[in-house]
Amino acid sequence: MAYMNAPAAPIPLDGEGESRLSFVRQPRSSVNAVSEILAGLASQPKSLSPKFFYDSLGASLFDRITVLPEYYLTRSERDIFKRYESHIAAALGTGRILIEPGSGSSEKVELLLNALRPGAYVPLEITESHVLEASRNLVKRYPWLTVHAICADYTGGMDLPASLPPGQRLLFFPGSTIGNFEPADASRFLREMHRVCGDGGSLLIGVDLRKDEAVLNAAYNDSEGITARFNRNILTHVNRLADADFDIEQFQHMAFFNPIESRIEMHLESLKDQCVRVGAREVQLEAGERIHTENSYKYTVEGFQDVARLAGFTPRETWYDEAGWFSVQLLDA
Ligand code: AVJ
């Protein structure tokens, strides 16, 4: 990759911390977004990648989901980080090179920064404004912290700049984002994280667990309808990305637990026979036909550890919230 060897040029900062922040950017691939959208809508059943949920409205709707009474995932994980902060830090030691794919606003890592005291923090985030704002705030708030920010789509693999400081690596992948990956893609991504970990590296990962179906179904069908708005907003985003004319009023949110696949599925169900223009193409939908927008796999601890072992990891420790609904797992590369 061309960007791999590009020097990490320090970006200008007004305030303090400039010398502790560098930034590199992977060449944009928005052309691929359009062909990915078209391919998904041409397949049977129709689908859209959940990564298209997150335009700025989608990101703020997701933030509202995380504080809903029914959506326990974020709360449970935060409880684990707070409660076991010192255990996690003791297991990992300080001075690690802390790498976070899909870092967003870097909120979660802050819960562990003081305890982990990493040698450097390396956030990888597709939205440049998010990674820059988060990184600027971090170097201001943590005067000892060095940040190497990378704007990249990690789903295509992680090509880290050769200029990263040496040291034992810690990959941080919270939020049960791994649940969005199909089993084959989860295996592939775990192998990729194993490669990036290198010798002596570790992975700290948040994994949502299989539980009572009523709890799972409620978490994705909240009474305020925020998840429904989040789901339908993918069409608004696709309208902009691919010059399409979806009318979100003509689609209904649908989310349910599929026990055979052990996953929550989200779909958008067409309320009528309709024809939608997507760029130069036309997409036909029948009444009741669905567009599959997300899977959120729910693992058992043992089931996830088996997958991780096949990717080369050795499970070391697992921490749970009080209800035992969510897990944070430490795996050695
Ligand atoms: C961010 C992928 C963990 O699957 O629970 C929340 C996204 N979708 N409500 C999840 C989501 C619907 C969330 N992850």
Burial (Cβ within 10 Å: 0-12, 13-18, ≥19) of residue 101: buried
Pocket test for ligand 1, best of 296, 299, 326 (most atoms within 8 A of CB): 296
Token readout for 147 is: 């940040």
pLDDT beyond 90 at 132: yes
**3-state SS track over the chain:** CCHHHCCCCECCCCCCCHHHEEEEECCCCHHHHHHHHHHHHHCCCEECCHHHHCCHHHHHHHHHHCCCCCCHHHHHHHHHHHHHHHHHHHHHCCCCEEEEECCCCCHHHHHHHHHHCCCEEEEEECCHHHHHHHHHHHHHHCCCCCEEEEECCHHHCCCCCCCCCCCCEEEEECCCHHHHCCHHHHHHHHHHHHHHHCCCCEEEEEEEECCCHHHHHHHCCCCCCHHHHHHHHHHHHHHHHCCECCCHHHEEEEEEEECCCCEEEEEEEECCCEEEEECCEEEEECCCCEEEEEEEECECHHHHHHHHHHCCCEEEEEEECCCCCEEEEEEEC
Contact 119 CB / ligand 1 (< 6 Å):
no
Cα(77) to ligand 1 centroid in Å equals: 13
Cα(242) to ligand 1 centroid in Å equals: 23
66: amino acid identity, one letter = T
Cα(293) to ligand 1 centroid in Å equals: 11
Nearest CA to ligand 1 atom 10: 296
What atom of ligand 1 comes closest to residue 264's alpha carbon? Answer: 4
pLDDT beyond 70 at 196: yes
pTM: 0.93
Contact 104 CB / ligand 1 (< 6 Å):
no
Per-residue pLDDT tens over the stretch 137-193: 999 999 999 999 999 988 878 989 998 999 999 999 999 999 999 999 999 999 999
Cα(241) to ligand 1 centroid in Å equals: 21
Per-residue pLDDT tens over the stretch 64-119: 999 999 999 999 999 999 999 999 999 999 999 999 999 988 999 999 999 999 99
Could you give the CA distance from residue 108 to residue 78 in angstroms, rounded to a whole number? 7
117-121, 124-128, 131-135, 252-256: the lowest-pLDDT one: 124-128
Could you give the CA distance from residue 198 to residue 170 in angstroms, rounded to a whole number? 10
